[in-house]
Chains A and B, each alone.
Chain A
Amino acid sequence: MDSILLRVLWNNLISIANEQARALKRTAFSPVVREAGDLAVAVLDVRGRLLANAVTGAPGHINTMRTAGEYFIQAFPPDTLKPGDQLITNDPWLASAHFFDITVFSPIFFRGKVIGFIGSCIHHTDIGGYGMGAGARDVHEEGLWIPLLKLYEAGEPNKTLFHIIRSNVRKPEHVLGDLATQVSAGRIGAERIVALCERYGLDDLQELADSLIERSEEATRAAIRKLKPGTYRGETVFDVPGGEEVVIKAAVMIDTDKGEMVTDFEGSSPPSALGINVCINYTKAYNAFAIHCCLNPDVPNNNGSLAPFKVIAPESSIINAKYPSPVSARHVVGMHVPMPVMKALYHVLPDKVLAECAGGLWSAQIFGRDRSGRAFASSMFNYSGGMGARANKRGLSATCYPAGISAVPIEVLEAEMPIVFDQKELLRGTGGTGKYPGGDGQIVKFHLKTKQPWMLNAIVSRTKHESDGLAGAGAGAPGRFLVNGKPIFDARKLIMQPTDEVVFETPGGGGYGPPTN
C-alpha cells in the first residue's frame, strides 16, 4: 500500500469514528455524554485491534476500547457472527472499568464476512445499584453487570436482556434510548467502512490495518529510541473521598534496544475498601495516554502506537483491582495514574510533561424529591481543578487533565433538577507559584430546592495533599469539600437536610520552574 493511499484511508477511518461520535453526542439523553463528551467511538479490525478512534474527551474510554476488542473476539470469534449481531458488555475488567460505561461492538460485514468492528462506549445515565459514588462495599452493590453478550442476534433484539436492563436501571427509557443510538451509530459506521472499501477497491481492512499499526508502532519505537535509556521514577500522593491516602509509584524503564517503555507500579497502595479501585485495563489506558501525549502526540492512537507501552502492576493493588472490589468511582484514582508517570518522564522529556495536576474530576450525583414531592435522581455532574504548568506556559485554570471533558452548564442542571448554584468562580492563587504558575482551582457552591432530606454522592480528591510543583516551583493548593462550612471526610452517600449548602473548592495545579520575583 503506497504512503499516499495509506494516509487517505487512515484519515477516512478517523473521520468515520468522528462522524458517529458526533451523532451520539447530539442525540444522547445521558447529560455527561451530550454536555460533557464522556464517550468514545472506535474502528477495530477483525482481530479486535484498535485502528482509529474519534477525538473525544475521554482517554479512559478510548484506550480501554483496545482491551475490550480482544475480549469480544475471544468470546465471539468473528466467523461465528451473523449480519445484524450487536455485542455488548459493561464488565469493568473487560471494558471501561465501571458499570456505567456500556460498550457496544457492531461487526462490519463486507461480502459475507466480518472485516472489523465499530465500537462505542458511553457513560449512561444510570446503571442501577449504588449510583455514581465511592460508597459501595463490593462491585455487586454498584449496579447491573452485563457480561459479554449479544444485544441483537441476526437483527433480532435480545428481549430477555432488554427486559433485565429495563428493570434494573433508574431511567430505563433514557438508558435504552442511548443504547439504541449506540447500535444505530455502529450500523451507520459499518456502512461507511463498507463504502470506503468499495470506493478504494479493498477486499477487507487487513492490509490497511497492518500498515497503519506497523507504521505507528515503528514511529513510537523510534521516538523511544531517541530517549536516554534507564529507569526513571515518579510518585504521587493524594487523598480520596473519606480522606484515605493513596500512593501511586511508577518506575518507567526505557528500553532503547527494544524500543519499549515498561511502567512498573510496584509500591503503589493496596486495594481500597471504597469504590475507587482501578481495573488494570484502565490503568494501562491512562499510563499509555500520559506517555503518548509527552512522547509523540502527533501519532494517532491505535494498537500500534500503544503496543510499546507496557505495564507491570502489583497483584491486587489499588491500580490492579480484583473481584469483588468496588470500582464505580475509579476515575478518582485512575486520573492520577499519569502524574507519577509524568514525574518520571520529566527526567527525559522535561519540555513535554505537565507539572502535577489536580487529578480526578470532582463529581456529584444527587437524589431526592422536589418541592412538589416528585422523586428525582440526577446523573453525574463534574468540576475540574487546575492543570499543572508546562515548561513554557502556565497551567489552564479549572481544566482537567488527563480527561478533557466539559462541565455541564449550570443552567442545564438547574432546568433539570431542583438545584440552585450560588457560586462558580476561579480560586485565584490556588495554582502553584512558579516561573509558570499552575492552573487555579474553582469554587462551586450549591443547594437544593426541596422540603425533604436528600442524598449526595460526592467524589472529591486532594483535600489534604497538594499537587507538587515541578523544577523548583510551588505546589497547587489542596481542595476543600464543605457542607454548611464544615469539611466533610466521608466517602459514602451523605444524607442531607433541605437547607444544606454544599461547597466544592477544587485543587490548584502545580507550577513549573522556580518563581522569579
Chain B
Amino acid sequence: MSNYSIAVDIGGTFTDVVLRHRDGRFWVDKTLTTAEDLKQGFFTAIKAVLTRADCRADQVDDVIVHATTIVTNAIIERKAPPVALLVTEGFRDVLAIRDECRSDIFDNQLEVPKPLVPGELTFAVPERMLSDGGVVKEVDRAAVQAIARRLVELKIESVAVCLLNSYKNPANERLVRHILTAEASDIFVSLSSDIAPQMREYPRASTTALNAYTVPIVKPYLDALQEGLSAAGFRQELLIMLSSGGVIGAGVAGLNPVRMIESGPAAGALAASFYAKLLSAPDLLSFDMGGTTAKACFIQNGQPLITTSFEVDRIYRFQQGSGFPVTVPCIDMIEIGAGGGSLADTDSLGLLTVGPQSAGSWPGPVCYRHGGTCPTVTDADLILGMLDANNFLGGEMRLDVEGARKVLEAFGKGQDLGAEDMALGIYEVVGESMASAVRAHATDRGVDWRGIPLLAFGGAGPVHACHVAELLDSRMVIYPLMASVLSAFGALVTPLRLDLFRSDVGLLRRLDWSLVDRHISQMIDEARAALLKAGCAKNLIRITIGGDFRYQGQHNELTIMLALKDIEARQVDSIRATFEAEYQKTYGIKLENLDVEVVAWRVTAYGPEIDQKTVHMAAGAQSGRHSRSVRFHDGAHDTPVIPRASLRVGEKFPGPAIIEERETTIVILPGWEASVDPHGCIFATRQGA
C-alpha cells in the first residue's frame, strides 16, 4: 500500500524537499544547501518535512526520488582527483584536439576548455576495431596490464576507456575493462560503449571522461545516502532523477553520473509537464529565469523535449562549442546568459547590451548594497517599480533604490536617457534576447514557437514572463503553485520513466526485421524488470516504441513514435510516411528519390499514472494589498500590489498588477488580465489585439 513518497532536490543555493501522500496532500520544506557536505542538508530536509507532516520513515513506502547538482558542481569546480583515459593507439589527443572548431570566429582571443584528462594521464592501447565492428588488431593484453600497474602506482581511482568504433562493437572495450580490473580490482572503469554508445569519437570520449571524473565523487555520496536512509528506517532503494527526466536506482546511478548532470532542471521540466496536463495546455514553454541565466524548455504533448547531445561548463559566453560535449539523453533545454544579475553595458556602437556577463550573487546588483557598481536587470526592475525595495525575499533584504537610480542615471547619460527610460530599455533588451534565443532553439527542434503559453518560475522569471510572451506572440502565461520547490514537486507528480535504446543502422526497405524484433523485445523486458524492482505494479507499466530516422546520407535524425502493430506487420510504407510527415513539419520540405534509414530503436517504459487532480493552496488573508507607481512601456501606472497568499480561487483582475511572493514577483503587464484557477495557479491572458 503506497502512502507517502518523498523527493529531495539539491540545488546551488537551496535544498528542497516535498512529501506527498497518495490522497494528494503535500508538505514542503526548504533549507540552505550544505555545500561542504550535501548529505547533511539532504537528511536535515527529510527530517524537517517528516516532522511537519507528523510522519515516520517506515510510513514512506512509495518512492524516494533525488535530484542533485553534485555532478555539475564537480565538473565546474574541477576539485576531483585526477582520472585517466585509455584510447586507441594513435589517438591520444582526442580530448585536446576536440573537433578543431572555433566557437566564435571573430574572437582572436578565444580560449577552449582545458581537457578534463591531461596528456600524461592519457594512455594508448594497441588495438583497432573498424566501422563495421570487425577487429583488425586484437587488444594487446600485456600493454593494458602495464597501464593498469601504472595506474595503481599513480593511485588513479577511475578510468575512462574510449576506443575507436566501439559504438558498433563493445568487445575490445570490455576486454580492456576485464584486464584492468584483473590487475587493479578497486578501479572504477567507465566504458564509452556503455556510457554513450554513439558515433563520433570526440563527444563520446568527452562524455566518458566526464563520467569517470565524477564517479569517485558521486558513487560514495549516493552509497552514503542509501546507507543513511536505511539507517533512518527507509526500506526502498533511492531513485535518482536523470537529465532525461527518467529515473534509475542509486546503485546504477553511482556508476553513471554523467547521466545526472541536469538532474534538477529535468525534474523541473517534469513539473512543467504535470501542469501541462493538469491545465490542459499540452504545449508549453517552461521559462525559468534566475540570477545568472534563464533556462527554457519546450513541453510538447505534455512531454518535455529530449536531446541526445548538449554541453556542460560552457566557459565562453554560454556559447555553443565552448563547453564539454555530452552525448546522453537530456531535457532539451536552452540556457541563456540573461538573469537578474546580468550586466547592462554599451558596445562600441553606443548601443545597449545586457548580459551574458553577470554580477553573480556577489557583488550582485547595485541595489544589493554589496559593492556592485554596474547596472543590472534587477536594478532596472527595481527602478521601474516592479520590485519592492522593502519586500524583497519577504523583506529579509532591503534594496538600495537610490544607489540603483544613481548608477542608471549615470549610465543613461550616454544614451540621452533618464534612469527610468534606461531601465525600461534594459527590461526590453533582456526580454528580446531571451525571446530570440527561444525562437532559435525552437527552430532547431522544429517547434512552432508562435503563441506557445509560458509557465514562468525562478526568481526573475515571473517579472519578465509577460514581456517575453508578447515577443513570442503568446497570449498566456501561467504562474504555478509550488514554484519555489518545483523540481522536487515534479519528481513526485509524473509517472516514473525509464528509457532504453539500441543503435543499429539500416535502410528501412532492407531491414533485418527479426533483429529489430529482438532489439525491441529485449528492451521491453529490461525496462519492465527495472520498473518492477522500483515497486511498480506489473499491469500498470506502459510501453512506447520509437525509432530515429533520417534520409540516407544525413547525420541528424528525427525520433518518430511508432505503433507496435506497424513494426509487427513490417509496415514500411506507413513508417516512411510517418517520418516524412514529421520531416516536412520540421524543415518545411520532403525529399524525393532518397532512401530512409533507421539509426536506433527506442523503448520507454512508464510507471503508473499518478492520480493528482489538484494542487492545494494554503488559504491566505485578504490583507496587505496596496498600490504603487510602476513604469511600463506605455508610461507610469498606479498599479495594485497584491500578496499572492491573499488571492482567492476565481479572482480576476486587469493588468497592470503586481503579485508578490516571498521568492519572486509576478508582473502582469497592461493589456493583460490575471485570474486564479481552481488549482491556485495564476493565469495571465493577453487581452484584445
Which residues on A are within 8 Å of B, measured CB to CB?
Answer: 3-4, 6-8, 10-12, 14-15, 18-20, 22-23, 26-29, 31, 34-35, 37, 55-57, 59, 171, 173-174, 177, 180-181, 183-184, 187-188, 195, 199, 215-216, 219, 222-223, 292-294, 296-299, 301, 352-354, 383-384, 390, 393, 396-407, 409-412, 414-415, 420-426, 442, 445, 449
B397 interface residue (CB < 8 Å to A)? no
The residue on A at minimum CB distance from B595 is A173
Return A16 CB to nearest CB of chain B, in Å: 8
22 residue pairs bridging A and B, Cβ less than 8 Å apart: A3-B352, A4-B424, A4-B428, A15-B437, A15-B440, A23-B443, A55-B105, A173-B593, A199-B471, A292-B106, A293-B105, A293-B106, A298-B347, A299-B348, A301-B106, A398-B93, A399-B101, A400-B100, A405-B100, A409-B99, A411-B167, A423-B91
Q: Report chain A residues within 8 Å CB of B94.
A: 424
Return B138 CB to nearest CB of chain A, in Å: 16
Please state if A412 and B93 are interface contacts (CB–CB under 8 Å).
Answer: no
Return B509 CB to nearest CB of chain A, in Å: 15
Please state if A298 and B200 are interface contacts (CB–CB under 8 Å).
Answer: no
**Interface residue from B351, B473, B554 paired with A27 (Cβ < 8 Å):** B554
Q: Report chain A residues within 8 Å CB of B93.
A: 398, 424-426, 442
Please state if B554 and A384 are interface contacts (CB–CB under 8 Å).
Answer: no
B537 interface residue (CB < 8 Å to A)? no
Which residues on B are within 8 Å of A, measured CB to CB?
Answer: 90-94, 96-97, 99-112, 128, 130-131, 136, 164-165, 167, 199-202, 347-353, 415, 424-425, 428-429, 432-433, 436-437, 439-440, 443-444, 450, 471, 473, 551, 553-556, 587-589, 591, 593-594
Q: Report chain B residues within 8 Å CB of A23.
A: 443-444, 587
The residue on A at minimum CB distance from B111 is A393
Please state if A34 and B554 are interface contacts (CB–CB under 8 Å).
Answer: yes
Please state if A293 and B107 are interface contacts (CB–CB under 8 Å).
Answer: yes
Return B55 CB to nearest CB of chain A, in Å: 49
Return B170 CB to nearest CB of chain A, in Å: 14
| Alpha-carbon separation in the docked complex, A412 to B105 (Å) | 24
Q: Report chain B residues within 8 Å CB of A410.
A: 91, 164, 201
| Alpha-carbon separation in the docked complex, A144 to B292 (Å) | 51
Closest 3 CB pairs of A and B: A404-B102, A404-B105, A423-B90
Q: Report chain B residues within 8 Å CB of A19.
A: 439-440, 443-444
Q: Report chain A residues within 8 Å CB of B554.
A: 27-29, 34
| Alpha-carbon separation in the docked complex, A31 to B587 (Å) | 18
Please state if B130 and A384 are interface contacts (CB–CB under 8 Å).
Answer: no
| Alpha-carbon separation in the docked complex, A183 to B130 (Å) | 38
Please state if A424 and B100 are interface contacts (CB–CB under 8 Å).
Answer: no
The residue on A at minimum CB distance from B103 is A404
Q: Report chain A residues within 8 Å CB of B199.
A: 409, 411-412, 415
| Alpha-carbon separation in the docked complex, A442 to B100 (Å) | 11
Please state if B556 and A27 are interface contacts (CB–CB under 8 Å).
Answer: yes
- With most chain A CB atoms within 10 A of its CB, the pick from B93, B353, B450 is B93
Q: A173-B594, A404-B102, A409-B99 are in contact. Are A3 and B164 (CB under 8 A)?
A: no
| Alpha-carbon separation in the docked complex, A296 to B112 (Å) | 21
| Alpha-carbon separation in the docked complex, A179 to B102 (Å) | 26
Please state if B352 and A411 are interface contacts (CB–CB under 8 Å).
Answer: no
Give the secondary structure class of B's interface: loop
Please state if A8 and B101 are interface contacts (CB–CB under 8 Å).
Answer: no
**Interface residue from A15, A31, A411, A449 paired with B164 (Cβ < 8 Å):** A411
Please state if A174 and B553 are interface contacts (CB–CB under 8 Å).
Answer: yes
Q: Report chain A residues within 8 Å CB of B425.
A: 3-4
Q: Report chain A residues within 8 Å CB of B591.
A: 173, 177, 180
| Alpha-carbon separation in the docked complex, A8 to B431 (Å) | 9
The residue on A at minimum CB distance from B450 is A195
The residue on B at minimum CB distance from A353 is B108
The residue on B at minimum CB distance from A35 is B555
Please state if A7 and B429 are interface contacts (CB–CB under 8 Å).
Answer: yes
Please state if B100 and A398 are interface contacts (CB–CB under 8 Å).
Answer: yes
Q: A298-B348, A409-B199 are in contact. Are A4 and B429 (CB under 8 A)?
A: yes
**Interface residue from A8, A216, A299, A449 paired with B428 (Cβ < 8 Å):** A8
**Interface residue from B130, B202, B352, B432 paired with A12 (Cβ < 8 Å):** B432
| Alpha-carbon separation in the docked complex, A368 to B436 (Å) | 46
Q: A3-B350, A12-B436 are in contact. Are A411 and B102 (CB under 8 A)?
A: no
Q: Report chain A residues within 8 Å CB of B440.
A: 15, 18-19, 22
Q: Report chain A residues within 8 Å CB of B108.
A: 293-294, 297, 352-354, 390, 401
The residue on B at minimum CB distance from A290 is B108
The residue on A at minimum CB distance from B203 is A409
Return B531 CB to nearest CB of chain A, in Å: 33
Please state if B97 and A411 are interface contacts (CB–CB under 8 Å).
Answer: no
Please state if A215 and B432 are interface contacts (CB–CB under 8 Å).
Answer: no
Return A34 CB to nearest CB of chain B, in Å: 5
**8 extra interchain contacts, Cβ-Cβ under 8 A, other than A404-B102, A409-B200, A425-B90?**
A8-B428, A11-B429, A31-B555, A219-B348, A396-B110, A403-B105, A411-B164, A424-B94
| Alpha-carbon separation in the docked complex, A11 to B434 (Å) | 11
Return A29 CB to nearest CB of chain B, in Å: 4
Q: A4-B428, A184-B587 are in contact. Are A411 and B100 (CB under 8 A)?
A: no
Q: A27-B587, A219-B349 are in contact. Are A390 and B109 (CB under 8 A)?
A: yes
Please state if B165 and A414 are interface contacts (CB–CB under 8 Å).
Answer: yes
Please state if B109 and A393 are interface contacts (CB–CB under 8 Å).
Answer: yes
**Interface residue from A180, A299, A420 paired with B589 (Cβ < 8 Å):** A180
| Alpha-carbon separation in the docked complex, A29 to B200 (Å) | 17
| Alpha-carbon separation in the docked complex, A402 to B102 (Å) | 10
| Alpha-carbon separation in the docked complex, A152 to B427 (Å) | 43
Q: Report chain A residues within 8 Å CB of B429.
A: 4, 7-8, 11
The residue on B at minimum CB distance from A352 is B108
Please state if B436 and A401 are interface contacts (CB–CB under 8 Å).
Answer: no
The residue on B at minimum CB distance from A9 is B432
| Alpha-carbon separation in the docked complex, A445 to B347 (Å) | 46
Please state if A414 and B131 are interface contacts (CB–CB under 8 Å).
Answer: yes
Please state if A296 and B348 are interface contacts (CB–CB under 8 Å).
Answer: yes
| Alpha-carbon separation in the docked complex, A412 to B131 (Å) | 9
Q: A177-B594, A396-B102, A396-B110 are in contact. Are A411 and B200 (CB under 8 A)?
A: yes
The residue on B at minimum CB distance from A10 is B351
Q: Report chain B residues within 8 Å CB of A173.
A: 553, 591, 593-594
Please state if A407 and B100 are interface contacts (CB–CB under 8 Å).
Answer: yes
| Alpha-carbon separation in the docked complex, A55 to B390 (Å) | 44
Q: A396-B112, A411-B167 are in contact. Are A442 and B97 (CB under 8 A)?
A: yes
Q: Report chain B residues within 8 Å CB of A383.
A: 100
| Alpha-carbon separation in the docked complex, A415 to B97 (Å) | 21
- With most chain B CB atoms within 10 A of its CB, the pick from A27, A354, A407 is A27
Return B594 CB to nearest CB of chain A, in Å: 6
Return A329 CB to nearest CB of chain B, in Å: 19
Q: Report chain B residues within 8 Å CB of A426.
A: 93, 96-97
Please state if B91 and A425 are interface contacts (CB–CB under 8 Å).
Answer: yes
